């Protein structure tokens, strides 16, 4: 009886002890996890979260950097939405996202599939395709500025050899944004390619072998095996491409300064001008918050769409 | 182990430490400075390789001169310089001296990032009487002198001598009127067998600020002004319309220029022989000489009723600081720089404000002077853009402001001249009225 009575109590003690040990281990692991995360978290809080919160606060203030901020409610938002230049910037940035998003995803995937082949020299070609990524935006801008020059540029030289009249790429308001899109695709498509390449290499070879044995051709294998298994990578690439598209600045600033006739004037340049040329931090912060909301809405919509597919 | 190394080496540990400390100190000191010198920081926007070398060379000479002041220059592109300066001022870390344009002075004086320097001018002996009236007015705001005027850089006329000779024109007699200029422009425009233009007579790009400077000059030549008596835009005036219409006609009626040729960064239509003539400041003289181009400069032709030419100037101001401890050192360098401006002026390609320097052999004896001469001759005709506190946002170089966007629209033909100028006035007035 005693033993019966004591047995459960002993087991219970053991369970408690084990639970305590488990708890200690778990809390130790939690602590370790936080410790590992802390360098990133500290930087994230200091350089992302706090400035973002500060920007939201400043968007309700009148402040020229030197003076004392003054609360003015929604006036900055009213000001930017009444400014035709801000509406032009939103329209232009949307056009840029439209021009770059699909080519960046499709071309990124196509390049990844090409470079996923086990052929001689693939590693070399991968390096060549990835090289533009390490070039600074100012260099990219100046280089493509030369390439797009109407009189002496290489782009027009090749176009005229196939009978196309020279285009004033960066000086014609109709062609300036496509020129920026082409530059951006050349410069950054490789990051999408790398993500797709990693995802392609995660697809087990056996699936393709089995499908081949069952008589599936390359197109069927691509549609029924590759594409479904690439869905998470596709979602990531599409989201990143759209977010980066909305945040475009460097290329426009170096190559066209927002012109001609404001045809390449984008939201981040509006923010830059308001903050660092006009020293109006309130409207600049308000425009920043609007950009944050736009990217948020686009990202959520895109994630929902990917889930639906 | 470490002790063994020191014991066996030629230096004792103490000597090595002393050497290291000296090296560290030398690294921290400004160019060519002595340890006891008072350090003065100078921010500027002369970032081109030649300009930086010229400025650093002059500063080295000053620092080695034993004046007890050591100047430490730092260059940024203009946009970065202004934003960094204002932010640094807010944080109490502004540089001691800043070099910028006089047209930007009212903005920085209003923002109180610079201080009046009447006392510095008096105590250092900087001789402002050497500066023409326009230059002195340019550095005066609310009745106080805020900066030392250093140079003036007006628009000038460059032409390719070989092309002029090939066209049967006399390069020693450049056009002086609008009619003569048009005649040159027509003769210098070359077409191939199919009628396609292979070279334009004149460069008038719709990017960058050149077109604005040319239109501004022509507007004043026609008797117009940029602002009216109330400080609002007068860009829709008859004089302004006439000036812009003349330029648009050069493109559409006469076909002697194309706004899509030249102007962008790194795009040199003059050197690549896409154009034969251009209007630009004296800062291109050194570039054209380095390219070994057979070119010449002349005064801007008079297209209207009187001579007038766009110009701007660099000046050096003292940042507002918590204490005035360094004012004497600031003044020492400012005066020396003002008096010894021939060397940087020649290398950068600008005309010294000081008459004494401008007429000195150090400036007139240079090989560049034959090209600078026409700019010097045009000094009585210079017109500065309005010296207003909102200069940076109104006269933005190439950003899509109402001024830039509408000027580009008129040149590209997407808006008729009167419509473009009306829209420009509305946009400018909104900027000028903003509190």
Domain residue limits, chain A? 2-58, 77-308
- The predicted pLDDT at position B47 comes to 83
Closest partner CB to B400 (pick from A65, A142, A259) = A259
Burial of A14 (0-12, 13-18, 19+ CB in 10 A): exposed
The alpha-carbon gap from A181 to the nearest alpha carbon of chain B, in Å, equals 18
Using CA coordinates, name the residue in chain B closest to A254. B265
Q: Are the beta carbons of B228 and B196 closer than 8 angstroms?
A: no
Are A260 and B82 an interchain contact pair (Cβ–Cβ within 8 Å)? Answer: no
Cα–chain-centroid distance for residue A143? 23
Using CA coordinates, name the residue in chain B closest to A153. B267
pLDDT in tens, B296-305: 999 999 999 9
Q: How many angstroms separate the Cα of A285 from the Cα of each of A43, A77, A280, A289, B200?
A: 21, 9, 9, 6, 46
Are B264 and A149 an interchain contact pair (Cβ–Cβ within 8 Å)? Answer: yes
- The predicted pLDDT at position A20 comes to 66
Where are the alpha helices (H) located in chain A, listed in sequence order? 2-44, 50-58, 75-82, 84-115, 122-130, 137-147, 154-161, 176-202, 205-213, 218-221, 227-229, 231-246, 250-255, 267-276, 281-308
Q: Are the beta carbons of B176 and B302 closer than 8 angstroms?
A: yes
Q: Does A64 touch chain B (CB under 8 A)?
A: yes
Q: Does A267 touch chain B (CB under 8 A)?
A: no
Find the chain B residues whose C-beta atoms sit closer than 8 A to any C-beta of A.
79, 82-83, 86-87, 89-90, 111-113, 205-207, 259-261, 263-267, 269, 272, 274, 392-393, 396-400, 404-405, 408-409, 412, 414
> Whole-angstrom Cα distance, residue A184 to residue A188?
6
Q: 10 Å Cβ neighbour count for B124?
A: 21
- The predicted pLDDT at position A304 comes to 82
Q: How many angstroms separate the Cα of B92 from the Cα of each of B39, B42, B149?
A: 17, 15, 26
The alpha-carbon gap from A22 to the nearest alpha carbon of chain B, in Å, equals 49
Which chain B residues are Cβ-neighbours of A66 within 8 angstroms? 86, 89-90, 111-113
| String of DSSP letters for B17-85 | HHHHHHHHHHHHSPTT--TTSEEEEEEE---SHHHHHHHHHHHHHHHTTTSSEEEEEEE--HHHHHHHH
Q: Are the beta carbons of B254 and B185 closer than 8 angstroms?
A: yes
- Positions in chain A whose pLDDT score sits under 50: 1-6
Are B409 and A150 an interchain contact pair (Cβ–Cβ within 8 Å)? Answer: no
Under DSSP, is residue B4 helix (H, G, I), strand (E, B) or coil?
A: helix
- The predicted pLDDT at position B78 comes to 87
Are B412 and A261 an interchain contact pair (Cβ–Cβ within 8 Å)? Answer: yes
Cα–chain-centroid distance for residue A288? 16
Nearby residues of A179 by Cβ (< 8 Å), 6 or more positions away: A144, A148, A169, A170, A255
CA-closest candidate to residue B117, choices B314, B315, B312: B315
> Whole-angstrom Cα distance, residue B140 to residue B109?
10
What CATH number should be reported for the domain whose range is B156-311+388-433? 3.40.190.10
- The predicted pLDDT at position B390 comes to 85
> Whole-angstrom Cα distance, residue A67 to residue A91?
33
- The predicted pLDDT at position B166 comes to 96
Instruction: Provide the token pair at B202.
Output: 């004149």
In chain B, domain spans:
24-150+313-366, 156-311+388-433
- B156 DSSP β-pair partners: B280
Closest partner CB to B393 (pick from A145, A152, A277) = A277
Instruction: Provide the token pair at B192.
Output: 């191939």
Q: Are the beta carbons of B193 and B247 closer than 8 angstroms?
A: no
Q: Does A21 touch chain B (CB under 8 A)?
A: no
Cα atoms in the 13 Å half-sphere on the side-chain side of A79 = 23
Instruction: Provide the token pair at B330.
Output: 């600031």
- Return the number of CB contacts < 8 Å for A and B: 93
Using CA coordinates, name the residue in chain B closest to A143. B266
Q: Does A132 touch chain B (CB under 8 A)?
A: no
**Topology (CATH level 3) of domain B24-150+313-366:** D-Maltodextrin-Binding Protein; domain 2 (3.40.190)
Q: Tell me the mean pLDDT per 10 residues along chain B, length 435.
A: 42 54 51 73 86 87 92 91 90 93 94 94 94 92 95 97 97 96 97 92 89 96 96 96 97 94 77 94 94 97 97 96 91 95 92 96 97 97 93 80 92 94 94 82
Whether residue B406 is preceded by a cis peptide bond, meaning omega within 30 degrees of 0, is no
Closest partner CB to B404 (pick from A65, A149, A259) = A259
Q: Are the beta carbons of A122 and A115 closer than 8 angstroms?
A: yes
pLDDT in tens, B81-119: 998 999 899 888 999 999 999 999 999 999 899 999 999
Are B83 and A259 an interchain contact pair (Cβ–Cβ within 8 Å)? Answer: no
- The predicted pLDDT at position A3 comes to 43
Using CA coordinates, name the residue in chain B closest to A147. B267
Instruction: Provide the token pair at B312.
Output: 């701007």
What superfamily does domain A77-308 belong to in CATH? Answer: MetI-like (1.10.3720.10)
Using CA coordinates, name the residue in chain A closest to B407. A261
Using CA coordinates, name the residue in chain A closest to B395. A277
Under DSSP, is residue B148 helix (H, G, I), strand (E, B) or coil?
A: strand
Q: Does A257 touch chain B (CB under 8 A)?
A: yes
> Whole-angstrom Cα distance, residue A103 to residue A191?
13
**Element housing B199 (H / E):** strand B197-202
Under DSSP, is residue A148 helix (H, G, I), strand (E, B) or coil?
A: coil
Nearby residues of A68 by Cβ (< 8 Å), 6 or more positions away: none
Are A64 and B405 an interchain contact pair (Cβ–Cβ within 8 Å)? Answer: no
Nearby residues of A308 by Cβ (< 8 Å), 6 or more positions away: none
CA-closest candidate to residue A85, choices B427, B232, B395, B208: B427
Using CA coordinates, name the residue in chain A closest to B430. A83
């Amino acid at each position: 009886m005693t033993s019966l009575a004591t047995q459960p109590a002993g087991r219970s003690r053991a369970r408690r002890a084990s639970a305590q040990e488990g708890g200690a281990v778990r809390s130790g692991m939690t602590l370790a996890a936080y410790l590992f995360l802390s360098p990133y978290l500290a930087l994230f809080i200091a350089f992302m979260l706090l400035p973002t919160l500060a920007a939201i606060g400043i968007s309700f203030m009148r402040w020229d950097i030197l003076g004392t901020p003054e609360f003015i409610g929604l006036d900055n938002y009213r000001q930017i939405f009444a400014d035709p230049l801000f509406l032009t910037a939103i329209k232009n940035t949307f056009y840029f996202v439209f021009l770059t998003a699909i080519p960046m995803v499709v071309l990124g995937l196509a390049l990844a599939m090409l470079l996923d082949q086990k052929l001689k020299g693939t590693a070399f070609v991968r390096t060549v395709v990835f090289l533009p990524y390490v070039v600074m935006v100012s260099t990219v801008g100046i280089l493509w500025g030369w390439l797009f020059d109407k009189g002496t540029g290489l782009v027009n030289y090749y176009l005229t050899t196939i009978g196309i009249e020279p285009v004033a790429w960066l000086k014609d308001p109709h062609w300036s944004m496509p020129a920026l899109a082409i530059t951006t695709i050349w410069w950054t498509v490789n990051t999408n390619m790398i993500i797709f390449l990693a995802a392609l290499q995660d697809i087990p070879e056996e699936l393709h072998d089995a499908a081949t044995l069952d008589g599936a051709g390359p197109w069927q294998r691509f549609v029924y095996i590759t594409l479904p298994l690439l869905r998470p990578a596709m979602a990531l690439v599409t989201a990143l491409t759209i977010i980066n598209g909305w945040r475009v600045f460097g290329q426009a600033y170096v190559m066209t300064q927002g012109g001609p006739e404001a045809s390449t004037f984008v939201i981040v340049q509006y923010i830059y001008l308001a903050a660092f040329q006009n020293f109006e931090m309130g409207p600049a912060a308000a425009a920043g918050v609007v950009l944050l909301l736009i990217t948020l809405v686009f990202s959520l919509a895109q994630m929902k769409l990917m889930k639906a597919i | 182990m470490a002790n063994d190394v020191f014991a066996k080496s030629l230096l004792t540990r103490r000597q090595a430490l002393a050497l290291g400390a000296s090296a560290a100190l030398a690294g921290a000191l400004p160019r060519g400075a002595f340890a006891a010198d008072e350090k003065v920081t100078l921010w500027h926007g002369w970032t081109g390789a030649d300009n930086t070398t010229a400025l650093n060379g002059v500063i080295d000479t000053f620092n080695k001169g034993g004046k007890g002041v050591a100047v430490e220059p730092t260059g940024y592109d203009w946009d970065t310089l202004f934003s960094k300066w204002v932010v640094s001022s807010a944080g109490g870390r502004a540089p001691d001296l800043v070099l910028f344009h006089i047209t930007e002075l009212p903005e920085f004086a209003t923002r109180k990032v610079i201080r009046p320097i009447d006392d510095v001018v008096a105590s250092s002996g900087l001789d402002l009487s050497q500066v023409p009236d326009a230059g002195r007015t340019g550095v005066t705001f609310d009745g106080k002198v805020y900066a030392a005027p250093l140079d003036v850089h007006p628009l000038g006329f460059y032409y390719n001598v070989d092309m002029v000779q090939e066209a049967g024109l006399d390069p020693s007699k450049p056009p002086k009127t609008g009619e003569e200029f048009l005649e040159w422009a027509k003769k210098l425009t070359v077409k191939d067998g199919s009628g396609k233009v292979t070279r334009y007579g004149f460069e008038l790009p719709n990017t960058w600020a050149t077109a604005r400077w040319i239109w501004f000059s022509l507007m004043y030549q026609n008797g117009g002004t940029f602002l009216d008596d109330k400080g609002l835009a007068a860009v829709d005036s008859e004089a302004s319309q006439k000036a812009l219409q003349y330029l648009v006609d050069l493109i559409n009626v006469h076909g002697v220029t194309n706004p899509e040729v030249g102007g962008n960064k790194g795009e040199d239509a003059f050197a690549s022989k896409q154009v034969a003539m251009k209007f630009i400041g004296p800062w291109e003289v050194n570039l054209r000489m380095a390219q070994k181009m057979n070119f010449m400069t002349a005064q801007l032709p008079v297209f209207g009723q009187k001579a007038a030419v766009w110009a701007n100037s660099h000046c050096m101001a003292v940042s507002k600081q918590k204490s005035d401890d360094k004012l004497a050192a600031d003044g020492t360098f400012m005066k020396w720089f003002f008096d010894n401006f021939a060397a940087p002026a020649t290398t950068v390609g600008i005309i010294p404000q000081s008459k004494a320097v401008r007429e000195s052999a150090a400036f007139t004896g240079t090989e560049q002077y034959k090209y600078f001469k026409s700019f010097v001759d045009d000094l009585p005709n210079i017109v500065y853009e309005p010296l207003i506190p909102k200069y940076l946002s109104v006269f933005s170089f190439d950003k899509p402001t109402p001024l830039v966007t509408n000027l580009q629209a008129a040149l590209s033909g997407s808006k008729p001249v009167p419509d473009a100028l009306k829209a420009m006035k509305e946009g400018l007035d909104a900027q000028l009225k903003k509190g």
